Structures are given as C-alpha cells and as structure tokens.
Amino acid sequence: MFKHAATTITAIRVAGSLVLLFLPPLSVVFFVVYAVCCLSDLVDGPVALHTWANKLTGVACVLIPAFYPLFGLPTTAVIVGTIASLSALEELAITLVSPRLDRNARSIVCGASGWDEDRSGPQPVDG
C-alpha cells in the first residue's frame, strides 16, 4: 500500500493541476483546487525522493499566488525560477559527485549527499 502512496498522491496533484487550467485564475474555486494540490504536495513530501532545495522549490511554487500580488509577475518569476534553477543545479551536482545512487540524498551543502563535512570530496553514502 505504502509503495503506491507516492504515485497516488502525485496523481491527485496532476489531476488537480489539469483542472486548474480550466478555472478562472485566482477565483475561490481555483484556490480550493490549488489548496488540494498543495496539500497533496505536503503529504507527498515525506515519501518523495527529492533534496531539501527541491522541497524549497515546492514551497516557492505554492507561494506564487501570494507573491504575485505583492511583487508582480516578473519578480515572482525570477524568485521562483532562481530557486528552482539552484535546486536543479544541486541535484545535478549530487548526481555528478556521488559515488553511487542515493535516492535519499538531502543536500550537497550540508554534507548529506556523499560529501563529508569538511568538503574534501565524495565519500561513500551510508545506505
């Protein structure tokens, strides 16, 4: 059952995302469906196989409707896009420096991805 939990949760989010395409932007119904998608992302967090930066990207994406009225579209896009780009670069770096696949790597910055704490180079990841 737990094995398929992440897939089911993701399917809920994908379906909700598709529904959002047909709703009036920033309407009450939009925010209800958006909240369901956000909740599915929060529930998915503990079982997801992504880094802390990836989770930060998810939080930034969830906050887009809050950022948009405050900062406008260009600034919001730069904020979220920068966080997402740094997350993707971190995942690339983890992939390049890790001696073996570690689906539970949390970060290259805090030494939890195959680098030891003094950053002297790749070390075997406990598994």
Residues 18 and 78 in one domain: no
Q: Would you state the structure tokens that stand for residue 96, as one six-digit string?
A: 């390049």
d(CA 84, CA 99): 25
If you average pLDDT over every residue of the chain, what do you get?
A: 79
Residues 72 and 112 in one domain: yes
**Which residue stretches of 21-103 are H helix?**
28-44, 52-62, 64-97
Task: For residue 116, give its domain range.
Answer: 63-127
Residues 68 and 108 in one domain: yes
Is pLDDT of 73 > 80?
yes
Average pLDDT rounded to a whole number, residues 19-36: 92
Residues 107 and 68 in one domain: yes
Is pLDDT of 56 > 70?
yes
Alpha carbon distances (Å) from 111 to 44, 57, 88, 119, 123: 24, 20, 17, 7, 10
Looking at the 3D structure of the chain, how many domains does it have?
2
Query: Is 74 part of a structural domain of the chain?
Result: yes
Residues 20 and 74 in one domain: no
Residues 80 and 32 in one domain: no
Query: Is 58 part of a structural domain of the chain?
Result: no
Residues 44 and 76 in one domain: no
Residues 18 and 73 in one domain: no
Q: How confident is the model at residue 116 (pLDDT cuts 50, 70, 90)?
A: very low
Residues 34 and 75 in one domain: no
Q: Please, which residues have CB within 8 angstroms of residue 88's CB and are 6 or more apart in sequence? A: none
Q: How confident is the model at residue 83 (pLDDT cuts 50, 70, 90)?
A: very high
pLDDT at 52: 77
